[in-house]
Amino acid sequence: MATIIDGKKVAADVLEKCAEEITDLKSQGITPGLAVVLVGEDPASKVYVNSKVRKCGELGIHSEKIVLSREATQEEVLETVKNLNENPRIHGILVQSPPPPQIDEEAIVRAIDPAKDVDGFHPENVAKLALEDPTGFVPCTPAGCMELLRSAGIKTSGANAVVVGRSMIVGKPMALLLMARGSDATVTVAHSRSKDLPGICRQADIIVAAVGRPEFITDDYVKEGAVVIDVGINRVDDAEAKKGYRLCGDVDYASVAPKCSAITPVPGGVGPMTIALLMKNTIKAARFARA
């Protein structure tokens, strides 16, 4: 029977430590500050932004939510970022993804002060991750996956790990974290163009699924005793569900879980970790600003 890795519990533990650090910083006259910029009124993005702002309030982090119209220009977004870069009360800046099509997201990321880039997407922070420089910021979702593996006592040293997906948000930084000194996994990054993807995955002791396709990873991809971390969060139609849809991951949980030694559920696995690590990164940014 697979061990269910409870992301809610692990996230709660991370947030408890965050609260202690915030208390310590406030005793020194420092209140960590996070600004979240939302361009447009995308429903899913609004939910994510509100949950981040709400968590800041619970922890005592100063937060600012800036909502720009869907018709906002590139210059308006860049000016907003510039003002936040210069605002001493703000230690972390996050521009919610994805923005409307007229916005060049890469240019916005590059405009954020790397010392306030709590998403970890700025090229300077990407380089620091590759160089294993601890002063950089690690993207929240892959950092959260590593916390889940540690919390479950999963041995990564010497393990064969397969990351399915090569995005800059999850896949690539996840691979770097798994192969870093101290983690010491042997890592394969697979994707939609990989030949015999099921065969590649069956070699894995650890699979991280970040492919963005509902229930894509089936039992045919998983060997007995593997550990599966499901990063996906997908909404699929379900006439039997009260809301007419259900949430599922990139892994077909029903068929895969019986073969695993440990697995994350969806929801309640990786999802809660992303916000917890965002709070952790914001506190780190506040400490660095003080130094």
For residue 220, indicate whether it is catalytic: no
- CB-CB contact of 162 with 208 (8 Å): yes
Alpha carbon distance 114, 8 (integer Å): 29
Give the separation between CA 261 and CA 223, rounded to whole angstroms.
10
User: Is 205 part of the annotated catalytic residue set?
Assistant: no
Least Cα distance to 272 among 3, 7, 54 occurs for 7
Residue 88: is the preceding peptide bond cis (ω within 30°)? no
Q: Phi/psi zone of residue 196: left (φ > 0), alpha (ψ -120 to 50 degrees), beta?
A: left
What are the tokens at 4? 């269910």
Catalytic entry in 119, 230, 250, 252? 119
Q: Is 284 a catalytic residue?
A: no
269 in Cβ contact with 251 (< 8 Å) = no
- Give the whole-angstrom CA distance, residue 49 versus residue 57: 13
Cβ atoms of 160 and 185 closer than 8 Å: yes
Choose the catalytic residue: 96, 172, 205, 284.
Answer: 96
Active site amino acids = 52, 96, 119
